[in-house]
């Protein structure tokens, strides 16, 4: 849904994405570009996924070579450690600049003038910088992209991060926009009426972000009270450094700006970027990090991942729309990038950065992205209800949705049947939120266009199965829903006020 705006200077975090600009459309309002570092930030959501990849080998597909090898290496080394047997990997190499000529060339402070990011932070110790340089060269070797512009490396405490989030929220987002995002989620049945998205965003981002790359300042920030670089933070750094390389192929901020008022396209772009960094992270973990870790260090890493999984109260308490939107770019994005990689290696992924997917439908169905005739969204025309509703009514928010949002809508409504099948075949969705100056109950209008009439009717049937008939309209808890049309194009209307809803239903063509 409407992604707020920028909530931060873009960052492409991970789960942070979560609220990011829209807190809603990440799958639903994810504060679109507000992506507070949300788009580039590495959070515990990634670590949760990583932990599952490491510890649940039986669930990994044989075709996923990176994860398969990763799990086998861990299981083998941990088993040997438990038997007290030595392994060939228990002597990690020294992370010295001499090991990488490129790093040696910029090993002196004079080579990279110290910038002072407006967000604060401090310069990492020399030993940490040396490890970072080693990781950078390893990532460059895997990803196949050169670094033409060195990244600025900074440490930031969690208190500094929180202050930064609050400051950027105040600069980049209008309170009314945030309120409208929450209102839209409530009308759709995805969040409670009194949800405070601004506070949730601040608390969740503060809890979840472990590090982020800022495309505007060209700097990487690692979050923590200690200035060291344990394996779990090295994983974060590998992921985020890939964003630096991506940003030198394309302008990440420009990529977000291009879809600023198209939330479904924005989520697709973030999914490509985060999926790229997640696959890179997995390959680097298998090829480099694991090979220099002792069994004891591997056990400690697993324990830290478990700890992170169990210490996310803000995320655990967030509405499902928030959690799902947060994870989508990393999970479904990684699957999409894996499909590209299987077709043409990293060069195919790099080409996709220059020609990104335009919908979550393409992310969920990669074949629709690389088909000879790509299936791009075809948005329906939106009939403006403002004048038909009477004096004082205005449209305060308009945006797009996609297949990801429809899946979530059906899931949260507890619709019957195959939800994924029912949400497939969407051509495009526009929605608008209307308000009246007098404070009358709000109205949400969502128009859906489908590839075929059968696709449209399948979704409509599934959605209606979760609603209670109420005359010629429907009821869902404290919300009333009207449906105008069927088949290949129709409109869903939402309002808690029956008079408002029936007036809109009569006016809708």
State the SS3 of 356-415: CCCCHHHHHCHHHHCCCCCCCCCCCCCCCCHHHHCCCEEEEEEEEECHHHHHHHHHHHCC
- Bridge partners of 41, per DSSP, are 212
194 shares its domain with 316: yes
Please state which of the ranges 31-45, 147-161, 407-421, 486-500 shows the lowest mean pLDDT.
31-45
Q: Is residue 491 part of a domain?
A: yes
Per-residue pLDDT at 57: 35
Q: Percentage of the chain with pLDDT > 90?
A: 60
Instruction: Let me know whether 48 and 159 are in one domain.
Output: yes
| pLDDT at position 68 | 47
* pLDDT tier at 225, thresholds 50, 70, 90: confident
For residues 278 and 60, give the distance between their C-alpha atoms in angstroms, rounded to a whole number.
16
65: confidence class by pLDDT, cuts 50, 70, 90: very low
In a domain, 371, yes or no: no
Instruction: Please tell me the distance from the alpha carbon of residue 116 to that of residue 377, in angstroms, as a whole number.
Output: 42
| Tokens of residue 53, six digits | 């990849």
Biggest CA pair distance of the chain: 80
Where do runs of H (alpha helix) occur along 221-294? 231-249, 252-257, 263-284
Q: 446: which 2 tokens?
A: 């969502």
Run of H or E including 41: strand 41-43
pLDDT in tens, 384-428: 999 999 999 999 999 999 999 999 999 999 999 999 999 999 999
Q: Is residue 377 part of a domain?
A: no
The CATH number of whichever domain residue 397 belongs to comes to 3.40.1000.70
Residue 364 lies in a domain: no
Q: Which domain holds residue 255?
A: 15-349
My answer on whether 345 and 395 are in the same domain is no
pLDDT of residue 116: 41
* One domain for residues 313 and 396: no
Whether 291 and 416 map to the same domain: the answer is: no
**Listed residues 298, 331, 349: the one ending a domain:** 349
For every residue of 433-465, DSSP letters joined together read EEEETT-PPPEEEEEEEESSHHHHHHHHHHHHT
Residues 153 and 301 in one domain: yes
End-to-end alpha carbon distance in the chain: 23
Distance CA 416, CA 461 (A): 9
Residue 307 lies in a domain: yes
Whether the pLDDT of residue 117 is over 60: the answer is no
Please tell me whether residues 324 and 203 are part of one structural domain: yes
Least confidently predicted of 69-73, 201-205, 431-435: 69-73
Contact at 8 Å (CB) between 361 and 426? yes
The sign of the dihedral angle between the CA atoms of 198, 202, 208, 209 is positive
Q: Which of 49-63, 306-320, 370-384 has the lowest mean pLDDT?
A: 49-63
**Can you give the pLDDT at residue 111?**
40
Q: Is the pLDDT of residue 313 over 80?
A: yes
Q: What is the DSSP string of 285-297?
A: IIIIIGGG--HHH
How does residue 80 score in pLDDT terms, banded at 50, 70 and 90? low
110 and 176 fall within a common domain: yes
Pull the structure tokens for residue 386.
Answer: 């403002």
- How do residues 329-353 score in pLDDT, each as one tens digit? 999 999 999 999 999 999 999 999 9
Same domain, yes or no: 204 and 273: yes
Q: Is there a single domain that holds both residue 336 and residue 474?
A: no
Is the separation of the CB atoms in 348 and 341 below 8 Å?
Answer: yes
> Which of 88 and 441 is assigned the larger pLDDT?
441
> Given this model, what pLDDT does residue 419 score?
97
| Chosen domain end from 296, 331, 349 | 349
The average pLDDT across 443-462 equals: 98
Exposed (0-12), middle (13-18) or buried (19+): which is 391, by Cβ within 10 Å? Answer: exposed
Total count of domains within the chain: 2
Find the range with the poorest average confidence among 2-16, 268-282, 365-379.
2-16
* Beta strand extents in 180-238 (DSSP E only): 209-214, 219-223
Please give the C-alpha separations between residue 374 and each of 41, 346, 356, 476, in angstroms, as whole numbers.
30, 21, 12, 37
| Predicted local distance difference test score (pLDDT) of residue 79 | 52
Whether residue 376 is contained in a domain is answered as no
Question: Which pLDDT does position 269 carry in this prediction?
Answer: 96
Can you tell me the mean pLDDT for 433-461? 96
Cβ–Cβ < 8 Å for 24, 185 = yes
Q: Does residue 339 sit in the same domain as residue 390?
A: no
By CB neighbour count within 10 A (0-12 exposed, 13-18 middle, 19+ buried), where does 287 fall? middle
Give the closest residue to 234 by CA, choosing from 167, 156, 135, 331: 135
**166: buried, middle or exposed (CB in 10 Å: 19+, 13-18, 0-12)?**
middle
At residue 239, the pLDDT reads 95
Considering the domain architecture, whether residues 155 and 291 belong to the same structural domain is answered as yes
SS3 at position 425: coil
pLDDT at 59 over 70: no
At 120, is the pLDDT very low, low, confident or very high (cuts 50, 70, 90)? low
Distance of alpha carbon 268 from alpha carbon 400, whole angstroms: 12
User: What's the pLDDT score for residue 130?
Assistant: 96
Tell me which residue of 182, 189, 101, 128 sits closest to 405, measured CA to CA.
189
Burial environment of residue 285 by CB neighbours within 10 A (0 to 12, 13 to 18, 19 or more): buried
pLDDT digits (tens, 9 = 90+) for 204-222: 889 888 899 888 888 899 9
DSSP 45-78: HHHHHHHHHHH-GGGS-TT-HHHHHHHHHHHHHH
Whole-number Å distance between alpha carbons of 452 and 359 = 18
Mean pLDDT lowest among 189-203, 248-262, 279-293: 248-262
The pLDDT value recorded for residue 76 is: 54
For 42-56, 408-422, 432-446, 472-486, which range has the lowest pLDDT when averaged over its residues? 42-56
Whether the predicted pLDDT of 102 surpasses 50: no
As a whole-number percent, the residues of the chain with pLDDT over 70 amount to 76
Average pLDDT of the residues of the chain: 81
Note whether residue 20 is domain-resident.
yes
**Lowest-pLDDT range of 254-263, 314-323, 388-397:** 254-263
Decide which of 324, 349, 374 is a domain's last residue.
349
Q: Which residues are registered as beta bridge partners of 148? A: none
Helix axes 295-309, 65-82, angle to 10 degrees: 120
3-state DSSP assignment of residue 244 = helix
Residue 243 lies in a domain: yes
């Amino acid at each position: 849904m409407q992604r707020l705006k920028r909530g931060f200077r873009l960052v492409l975090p991970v789960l942070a994405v979560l609220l990011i600009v829209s807190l809603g459309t990440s799958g639903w309002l994810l504060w679109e570009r507000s992506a507070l570092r949300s788009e580039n930030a590495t959070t515990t959501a990634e670590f949760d996924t990583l932990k599952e990849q490491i510890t649940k080998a039986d669930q990994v597909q044989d075709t996923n070579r990176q994860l398969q090898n990763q799990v086998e290496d861990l299981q083998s080394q941990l088993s040997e450690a438990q038997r007290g047997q030595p392994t060939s990997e228990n002597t990690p190499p020294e992370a010295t600049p001499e090991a990488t000529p490129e790093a040696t060339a910029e090993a002196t402070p004079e080579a990279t003038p110290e910038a002072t990011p407006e967000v604060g932070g401090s310069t990492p110790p020399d030993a940490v910088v040396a490890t970072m340089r080693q990781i950078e060269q390893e990532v460059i070797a895997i990803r196949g992209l050169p670094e033409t512009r060195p990244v600025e490396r900074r440490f930031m405490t969690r208190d500094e991060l929180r202050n930064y989030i609050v400051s950027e929220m105040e600069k980049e987002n209008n309170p009314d926009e945030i309120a409208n995002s929450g209102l839209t989620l409530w009308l759709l049945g995805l969040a409670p009426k009194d949800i405070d998205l601004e506070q949730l965003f601040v608390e969740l981002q503060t809890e979840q972000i472990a590090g982020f790359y800022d495309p505007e300042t060209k700097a990487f920030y690692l979050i923590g009270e200690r200035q060291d670089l344990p394996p779990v933070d090295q994983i974060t750094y590998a992921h985020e450094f890939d964003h630096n390389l991506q940003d030198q192929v394309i302008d990440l901020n420009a990529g977000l700006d291009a879809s600023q008022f198209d939330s479904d396209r924005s989520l697709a772009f973030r999914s490509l970027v985060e999926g790229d960094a997640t696959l890179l992270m997995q390959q680097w973990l298998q090829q480099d990090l694991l090979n220099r870790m002792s069994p004891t260090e591997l056990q400690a890493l697993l324990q830290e991942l478990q700890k992170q999984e169990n210490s996310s109260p803000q995320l655990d308490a967030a509405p499902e729309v928030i959690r799902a939107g947060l994870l989508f770019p990393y999970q479904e994005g990684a699957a999409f990038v894996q499909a590209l990689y299987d077709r043409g290696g990293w060069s195919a992924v790099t080409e996709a950065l220059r020609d990104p997917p335009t919908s979550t439908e393409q992310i969920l169905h990669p074949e629709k992205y690389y088909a000879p005739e790509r299936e791009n969204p075809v948005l329906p025309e939106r009939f403006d209800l403002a004048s038909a509703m009477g004096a004082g009514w205005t449209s305060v928010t308009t945006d797009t949705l996609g297949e990801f949002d429809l899946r979530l809508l059906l899931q949260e409504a507890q619709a019957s049947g195959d939800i994924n099948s029912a949400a497939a075949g969407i051509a495009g969705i526009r929605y608008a939120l209307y308000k009246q100056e007098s404070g009358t109950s709000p109205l949400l209008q969502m128009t859906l266009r489908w590839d075929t009439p059968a696709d449209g009717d399948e979704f409509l049937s599934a959605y209606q199965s979760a609603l209670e008939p109420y005359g010629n309209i429907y009821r869902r808890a404290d919300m009333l829903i009207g449906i105008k049309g069927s088949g290949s194009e129709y409109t869903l209307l939402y309002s808690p006020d029956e008079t408002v809803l029936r007036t809109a239903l009569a006016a809708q063509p």
